[in-house]
Structure 1
Amino acid sequence: MRARTSMEAASKPLLHLAPPRGYSPDFLTPAEGTTDSLEAAEAIESTSRVRLRSDMAALGQQQKLPWWAVDLAAGRPAALRGLGTALRRYHRRALHPYWTQITAAVSAELGLRAQSFLVGGTEMLLSTLHPTVHWRAPVLQIAYPRDQDLYLEGRGLRLVPAYFCRGAPIALRDTSLSPVLVYPATRGIASLQPLSPVTGPDALGRLLGRTRAATLFTIARSENATGSEIARQLSISPASASEHATVLRDAGLIQSTRVRNTIHHALTPLGANLLEGRAATTMAAPLPAQTTGCR
């Protein structure tokens, strides 16, 4: 709601292209896949006229399109530049304040997928992807809004964790495109909060203390460490490990993700940068653990 009410006029056409329910044009999900907003906007701006015409026609079957949609469907350069401008402005206004947290959630999810693959191969990776996904080799079944079959025919399947994907995973409408499965990456514990001078320094100030620093270092070494792993490695209580993880998460240094009944912790880019800056001194080795309460 906050993003909608503060949206600039130049970005409002995006509301027609990405409605809250139903079909959104496939070209808004570039096959390249990137978390860089500039690269994503450039990829969308370079969409072929054939793709634009097909996707906009499909969108037109679902809703009445505004006048500018005709120029976009025709691939006119001015319309594509306008779309790119709308995407960049929307990102700057609505997403940039939360981008560190969003990318951290996606990175944590990718780390869990990699961990699942290393432990149990393709079967574990796919069977733990989402509650609505069921892997029954050689078929991946998904609770989908409409009946649809996608045959890979030797092609790979790109898995794309998306922060704002809600409900069940979704696939591209056009089965001739490179197969993509977009699924929710929203199992993070914290809600989106913009970084600000009021909350940022205060949260970072709570990091003082050797045990908390050791907790951050343990999470960095373990990749998706659980609370029990942190408590065991630092010889502290599970409650103390949970408190330290909460402070680190509030400061934006880690991302916490719930998988069934277990919470996994992973570094955010901010946490990684902090550790790299300290690597030569205090973070060169695990710090002595404290057995008392949090500091």
Structure 2
Amino acid sequence: MLRLRCTTEDLLHVSIAEHPAPLGELTLAMQMLQRRDPDPAFVPWREQIARQLPAEGRRLLQLVSPSGAGPMFLDPPSRTVEEGLDRVLSTPRAEVRAELKRVCAIDRPLTSWTKRLAEQDREAWKMLDQALRTGYRSVLAERWHSLRAGFDAETAWRAKILARQGISALFASLRPTLRWNGLTLEADFPRHLDLTLHGHGLVLRPTLLWSGYPLVAYYADRPTTLIYPALTPLPLLAPARAPDPLCALLGTTRAGALRSLITGRTTTGLARELSVSVAAASLHAKTLREAGLIVSRREGKAVCHECTPLGLDLLAAEPPRTGG
């Protein structure tokens, strides 16, 4: 049983993740690869990944468990692989040792490589860097566009529920995976995990590479992340080569802008997300605003943009699309 004991302050700071984390999704894929439950969506996917995953990528299986346990330093909330790798490789030694000790106590073997990672052995960490890069290229690189489209569709729908009906309806939409018992959020879980949040809030992050019970990344000094399975898993999405109807309608950059504005973002933040100039981001925001898809408001010297209900409806109506 999983129990998250929330305060009213935590409930006032419930949010939805803005983007998937590449290395976090890779970790979940490695966990899902080892499971043997007969989920019809993942059985052929497991067979395919097992065939194509090189030996270098398989090293990750020593660190992550089919039960969903894995070192939290392998799941940084980064937007890109390179940013994620920088964060992983700069993890403080004390955190590395504590996390490896935790996962080995659950069900991971204490291998010589694991010991060398805990001791900050340079060669062992080079092997980890290579394992993460190889794993991402083999498992996610070709499907990342599909994964991002599915993630955006999922979060757009949940954000629409949160905006129109509130927190209660948002969590009701996640039943029976999650349920409330007073201010305690409960879920079925393979082991007993009782955590008390400290008012920093809760971030809901969907994943397209896990099924069943939710997972949690708990932090004492910042928002806790609750990872739950999206309605449509990655194996059921159309491949990346499939046409993107939203891009066809708005253009690739403006479609990306609308997806990124599911949550509020300044013009500068939008420019950074799209890798364009601030002036170009402002122009794209103006076009979306005039179409009624976003609303803009001034906050001090900055202008913040976010989707309107019409924009959320448009995003919620796009893929997941089945691959036939």
What interval of TM-score do these two structures reach, taking the shorter chain for normalisation?
0.5 to 0.7
**Quick one: which of 81, 84, 87 aligns to 1:37?**
81
Contact 2:208–2:232 at 8 Å: present in 1 too? no
Contact 1:38–1:88 at 8 Å: present in 2 too? no
Aligned to 2:74: 28
Which AA in structure 2 matches 1:29? D
Distance in 2 separating the partners of 1:114 and 1:136: 23
Which AA in structure 2 matches 1:10? E
Residues 189 and 146 of structure 1, relative CA distance in 2, 3 Å threshold: closer
Is the aligned partner of 1:3 residue 2:3? no
Q: Secondary structure at the match of 2:136?
A: helix
Is the aligned partner of 1:143 residue 2:192? no
Distance in 2 separating the partners of 1:100 and 1:130: 28
RMSD: 3.3
Of stretches 126-135 and 185-194 in structure 1, the one that deviates more from structure 2 is: 185-194
Q: How does 1:10-159 map to 2 (within 5 A)?
A: 10-21=56-67, 23-30=69-76, 33-61=77-105, 62-159=107-204
Q: Count residues in correspondence.
A: 212
Relative contact order (C-alpha < 8 Å, sep 6+): which is higher? 2
Distance in 2 separating the partners of 1:87 and 1:100: 19
Of stretches 98-107 and 82-91 in structure 1, the one that deviates more from structure 2 is: 82-91
Distance in 2 separating the partners of 1:48 and 1:186: 36
Contact 1:49–1:73 at 8 Å: present in 2 too? yes
Which AA in structure 2 matches 1:17? L
- Normalized against structure 2, the TM-score is what? 0.57
Is the aligned partner of 1:265 residue 2:320? no
**Quick one: which of 201, 205, 212 aligns to 1:167?**
212
Q: Please list every run of 5 or more consecutive structure 1 residues that lacks an aligned counterpart in the other structure.
A: 224-263, 269-295
Q: Secondary structure at the match of 1:149?
A: strand
Contact 1:106–1:162 at 8 Å: present in 2 too? yes
Residues 136 and 124 of structure 1, relative CA distance in 2, 3 Å threshold: farther
Distance in 1 separating the partners of 2:125 and 2:175: 35
Contact 1:48–1:75 at 8 Å: present in 2 too? no
Displacement of 1:130 in angstroms is 4.4
Contact 1:11–1:90 at 8 Å: present in 2 too? yes
Distance in 2 separating the partners of 1:14 and 1:100: 23
Distance in 2 separating the partners of 1:86 and 1:66: 16
- Normalized against structure 1, the TM-score is what? 0.62
Q: Please list every run of 5 or more consecutive structure 2 residues that lacks an aligned counterpart in the other structure.
A: 1-46, 260-315
Residues 127 and 65 of structure 1, relative CA distance in 2, 3 Å threshold: same
Which AA in structure 2 matches 1:49? R
Displacement of 1:94 in angstroms is 1.6
Residues 13 and 186 of structure 1, relative CA distance in 2, 3 Å threshold: farther
Q: Secondary structure at the match of 2:194?
A: coil
Distance in 2 separating the partners of 1:6 and 1:168: 27
Displacement of 1:18 in angstroms is 1.9
Contact 1:150–1:175 at 8 Å: present in 2 too? no
Displacement of 1:216 in angstroms is 5.4
Distance in 2 separating the partners of 1:186 and 1:18: 24
The structure with the largest alpha-carbon Rg is 1
